[in-house]
Structure formats: structure tokens, C-alpha cells
Structure 1
Amino acid sequence: MIGRRLLNSRLLCGALGAAGLFCVLEATGRIGLISPIAFPLASKVLARAARLATDGGFLSGVVSTLGAWALGLLLTVAVAVPAGFVLGTLPRVETALRPVLEFLRPIPSLALVPLALALFSDKFDMKVTLIVYASCWPVLMNTLYGLKDVDPLAKETLRSFGFGPLAVLWRVSLPSTAPFVATGVRLASAIALIVAISTELLAGGSSGSGIGVFLIEAGGSSDAMEYIIATAIWAGVIGMVSNSLFVLAERRIFRWHTARTEVV
């Protein structure tokens, strides 16, 4: 009951905040504080966003971007989670590879776009590769931190009853680390969407199709600013919806963890 009240209050506050921002932007345009040429009226932008929902070219771009996003996120989980468990359970391996990880982690994925363009002939593969590179880090690090947070007493108790390392990993480490992995995947989903659209923009029309390519093509129209802002709104909506779905899944699957950590 309390959770539903909090959710309803957050939704109400969010809706009021969005409505307030819309009113402010509309008012500043109407009274001339902001030139409609530099920044279109909020009402026109929303109308354009509504029309984009039935625009075949835009919808095709959304499907392409989400396809790369989903595949990249799936590959991220398949690569980063096992790697995190290996590094987390084998301290010497982690110590040996930690300098390499710390060297690679700060490198922006978008800085690798020119290299990726030279290496990949298929632009979809290029997007997916950059998504995996950028998204692996939060999943990998959260998996490592989750393993370090496992109760050592629980592991020692299982070992005292004769359970081997694999049994301890399966019965204790994996369930305890799962909420951390889920949080890492949720953070990676936002990164994956950002990288997908940014890669399409930086690679230009050569990247095939996607939201970023649609933005480039729409930039040559007479009402380009309306298209750009409306498309950005849809990108934000997609990111918000995906994050909300991940949060909902986390709350339902890991209720015990939420009840332990959430402050009401």
C-alpha cells in the first residue's frame, strides 16, 4: 500500500513537473522572451512529436535503433556477467587484469567511432559492438561489487557442510549478486540507448537507419528544429519507459532485496 502511494505521488509530481515546464516554455515563446525561430513553441513541438508517432520513416528508425539496443544489451549480459563472476571469484585474475580494465574503462565509446567505421563494413554490427563496449562496464563492475558484498559467513557455513566452490557460487554468491547485476543492466540500458543514437549521428547517413539517421535527414527540412526537438522527446520517452520497466522488474523479482534496502 505504501509503495503504491509513493508510486502514485511520484507519477503525479512528475506529471505536474512536465506540465509546468511545458507551460513555461510555451509562455516564454508567446511573449517573445525566446524567439520561435531559435526555439519553436512547445505546442508545435508536441504536435510534431504526435505526428512522428505515425511517420513511417521515424518508426523504421526507432525499430532499427531498438534492435541494436536490445541485441547489444543481450550480448552485454552474456559477456559481462560471466566475466564479472570469473574476476570476482579469482582474485589473482582480477589483480592481473585490473590495470587493463582501468585503462579501457575511461575511453569513451564514441571516440572509437572512426576506428569502428574502418573495421566494420556492416553499420549495424558497428553499432552493436560500440553498445557492448560501453554497456559492459556498469554490468561488470556491479557484478564485482555484488560478489564482494556476499556474506562471508554464509559461504563458510556451506563450506563447513561439505559444499564445493561451485555449489557455494550457485547457492549463495549468485542469488546475493543478482540484484547488483540487475541494477547494472538497468544502468547499461540507458547507456546503450545513448550510444546507439549517438553512433548513428556521428557516423552520419552511412550508419544505415535509426533515430540518429532520421535526425540527420530531418535536419535539412524547413522546420528542422521542430523535428530535432520532437525526436529528442521521443528518445527521452523511450529511455524513460525502458528504465521504468527495468525498475518494475527489479522490484518484483528481488522483493526481498528491495524490502531490505529501501527506506520508506
Structure 2
Amino acid sequence: MAGLFVLAEAAGRLGIVSTAQFPLASTVLVTAARLAVDPEFLLDVGATFAGWALGLLLTVAVAVPAGLLLGSVPPIEAALRPVIEFLRPIPSVALIPLAAFVFSERLDMKIAMIVYASVWPVLINTMYGLKEVDPLAKETLRAFGFGRIAVLLRVSLPSTAPFIATGIRVAATIALILAISTELLAGGSSGIGAFIILAGSSPDGLTLTVAATVWAGVLGVVTNGAFAWAERRLFHWRAAR
């Protein structure tokens, strides 16, 4: 990162890149530092993370039970697999204009787009994790008289938990991307995306836009790092193995 910053600064200072097209890296860094204490920008960050958190929670609440059901009952998976394979490749960003007609509230639309984009990694990881469960452990519980639900809760779900955690970590990053993208493309009065749109009409709009984009990237890295740290702490035995 430091090397990239030096190269960008040198390119601007030497005239390789026009500062009218892209501001100096030092100017962007100073502006980003000012945004860190700007109450309006912090409110927009809070609005983005509120939608992100609600969307991610709803994603987990939908995708984990659905993944457990599909992974545990092969006939249901076989019936729904064509639907999943049809919906999964559709670019989520391309659906934002359609969602704008369906949802009158911008927060509802943001959450819906987050759920649609983020549900797939959690769903697929949950289904894949169930296939990796030790069959001997399941047969042992069945031999002691435990039913299907008990085996699922006592063996399958704990064994699948690391896979679910990985899916949630991937989904968290996707959810942040969709939250900001929805704010950018569908408009609204709050959020990092809305701040970037408004910044474009200000006198130093280019610098503000780049600085806000830098913060969006930083927040994405921090979010992914926090989930990765939690995953290592909760499932340290898996990393050791």
C-alpha cells in the first residue's frame, strides 16, 4: 500500500497523471483524514452499516436453514437445483433498477439486494459442509437411537459450522459492496453511496469522491479482517488441522 501511495504521488507530481483528472495521493489522504471526523460523513457510514448489518442478519437467517434443508434432503435439492443455478449467476447490480420499482423504501430495497447477493455463498457453503460431515459419526448416533433432527443438531451442524462461517465472511464483503452500490445507483438521502453522489457536485468533488471511495475500501478490508479473525478464534482447531 505504501509503495502504491508513493507511485501515485510521484505520478501526480511529475505530471504523468494530470491532477485535473486525478488528485494527488497526499491530497486524497488529507481529505480522507478530514472525513474521519466529519459528522455528516460518519452518519452516512452509520446508515450504510445499518443496512449492511440488517441485510447480513437476514441472509444468515434465510441461507443457513435453507442450506441445511437442501443438504439434508437430496430430493428437495434435486428439485430446486435448476432454480438455484438459474438465479445465482444473475448480476445483483443489474437488478437494482428493477428493485427500485418494487420497493418504495430505499432501506427495504437495500436490504433486499444485500440478501439476494449474499445468500449464495452462505447457502452453497452450508450445503457443501454437510457433505463433508463424517458419516461414521452420524451412523454412531443413529445406532444409539437418535433421530434425524438430533443427528443434524449434534453432529452435522457443528461439523458444518466452519464452512458456514467462511460463507458468512464472504457474504459480509458482498453485502457491503451491494449496500454502497444500491445507494449509488438507486439514490437516497443517506449512506456512503449517497455521500459520493452529492460530493460530485461540490467544488472539490473529485477529491471528496476519491476520499470517500478510499474509506469504502478501508471499511471492506476491516470488515473482512474482523470476520477472518473471529473465524480463526472460533474454529482454531480447524486451522491447526
TM-score with structure 2 setting the length:
0.98
What SS class does the counterpart of residue 222 from structure 1 fall into?
A: coil
Amino acid at match of 2:35: L
Residue 14 of structure 1 corresponds to none
1:102 CA displacement: 0.7
2:116 aligned with 1:133, yes or no?
yes
**In structure 2, how many angstroms separate the alpha carbons of the residues matched to 1:89 and 1:182?**
19
Structure 1: state its 5+ residue gaps.
Answer: 1-17
SS at match of 1:107: coil
Question: Could you tell me which of 138, 155, 165 is aligned with 1:155?
Answer: 138
1:254 aligned to 227, 230, 235, which one? 235
In the TM superposition, 1:147-226 aligns within 5 A as: 147-204=130-187, 207-226=188-207
In the other structure, the counterpart of 2:85 is 102
Partner SS, residue 21 of structure 2: coil
Q: 2:37 aligns with which of 54, 57, 67?
A: 54
Displacement of 1:56 after TM fit?
A: 2.1
Question: How far apart are residue 161 of structure 1 and its match?
Answer: 2.0
Paired with 2:95 and 2:213, the residues of 1 have a C-alpha distance of 23
C-alpha RMSD over aligned residues: 0.9
Between the aligned partners of 1:143 and 1:49, the Cα distance in structure 2 is 39
Deviates more, 1:219-228 or 1:135-144: 219-228
- Does residue 244 of structure 1 match 2:225? yes
Residue 222 of structure 1 and its aligned partner are, at CA, apart by 2.1
CA distance in 2, matches of 1:128, 1:215: 20
2:64 aligned partner: 81
The equivalent of 1:234 in structure 2 is 215
The residue number in structure 1 matching 2:51 is 68
Paired-residue identity, %: 65
Q: Deviations over 1:65-120 (max 9, x none)?
A: 00000000000000000000000100000000000111111111222112211111
Query: What does the per-residue CA deviation read over 1:9-45, in whole Å, with 9 as the maximum and x for residues that have no partner?
Result: xxxxxxxxx1111111111111111111111111000
- The runs of at least 4 aligned residues of structure 1 exceeding 6 Å deviation read none
Report what 1:90 is aligned to: 73
Q: CA shift at 1:167, angstroms?
A: 1.5
- Opposite residue 235 of structure 2, the aligned amino acid is F
**2:126 aligned residue:** 143
2:8 maps to 25
8 Å contact from structure 1 (residues 123, 208) kept in 2? no
* 3-state SS of paired residue (2:237): helix
Give the residue type in structure 1 aligned to 2:133.
V
Task: Please tell me the residue identity of whatever aligns with 2:19.
Answer: P
Partner residue in 2 for 1:7: none
One-letter amino acid matched to 1:219? G
Q: Could you tell me which amino acid in structure 2 is paired with residue 58 of structure 1?
A: F
